[in-house]
Amino acid sequence: MKREHKAEMKARARNIVLKVAYDGTAYHGFQRQTPPIVAVQNILEEKLQTIFGDTIELAAAGRTDAGVHAYGQVVNFFTDGRIPVDRIARAANSLLPDDIVVWAAGEADTDFSARHSAKSKTYVYRIQQGEVPDPMTARYAWYIRRPLDVAAMREALAMILGTHDFSAFRASGGAPMSPVRTMYEATIEQAAGQQLICRIHGSGFLYHMVRNIIGTLANVGLGVLTPARFGEILEGRDRTKASATAPACGLYLEHVDYGEAFHFKYIHMLSAALFALASTLERLGERQRRSLSVTSRLANDSQMG
């Protein structure tokens, strides 16, 4: 939401809140861009304006970068439009492209802000392992061929729990703010298909913070750094000592928590959207099975040769 329009927008009758999921591959991040550059916000505002008959200016919980995805981005906007809350998701999804979906809609008090009312956020980062890359996950996970020492990575990741100054993992170019953040959860799970899922839940995050943590954590897994050295980097607060930023494709904004400030009372899980998602997952599963079949045949041919 543009600062100069804030008073005008808040004078409108309703404060609508949406939970949004998107594949960020085709977009220049979430935050509105000047055409011909297109961001997720550009698309959402255009379609919502058609539905509500107002000029729409969104406020978002997180300004995800180019190529970053979201399961649970939250946005809010002010409108005089009268469409019932339980019809918003269906109306929006009838206009939105397939890679952006509104999962839920609600109505909040005037003072609620998707950005400023957030109590905590959860990010997920996916790392794809395996001797052969999987083209079906190329846009959705960071491929690392060499096996990673997951136990060492877990030991290192546990060090970010609690309250710390995260300057070592802060990229330049972000908004000026305190580098002190509190992390409530930091885990690594081994998922199906040789994929690692790193989940970090915290009070807030600095610019590129999660991707910088993951880039450094990967070097722990590769044996380039020890867990103890990871801890020293964290406490040293020097970005130049940490590793390169992990690729955007593996990062997802999973969830934003608002405590008692807001709950989606009118969750409308659109059946058409669920059908589309199920169909997409089915296609991806079939492609992955074909990919594994091809990989298996290649391995057999190699052994025969």
**Secondary structure class of 180 (helix, strand, coil):** strand
Q: Across-strand partners of 104?
A: 19
Output the CA torsion 29→33→36→42 (10° steps): 80
Q: How far apart are the first and last CA of the chain?
A: 62
Measured CA to CA, the distance from residue 84 to residue 90 in angstroms comes to: 11
**Of 23, 65, 109, 111, which residue is the catalytic one?**
65
Distance CA(108)–CA(113), nearest Å, equals 9
Q: Please report, for the chain, how many H helices and E strands are present, in that order.
A: 7, 10
Q: What single DSSP character describes residue 188?
A: E
Whole-angstrom CA distances from 287 to 137, 250, 281, 294, 297 are 10, 19, 10, 10, 15
Catalytic residue list contains 65 = yes
Q: Which residues are catalytic?
A: 65
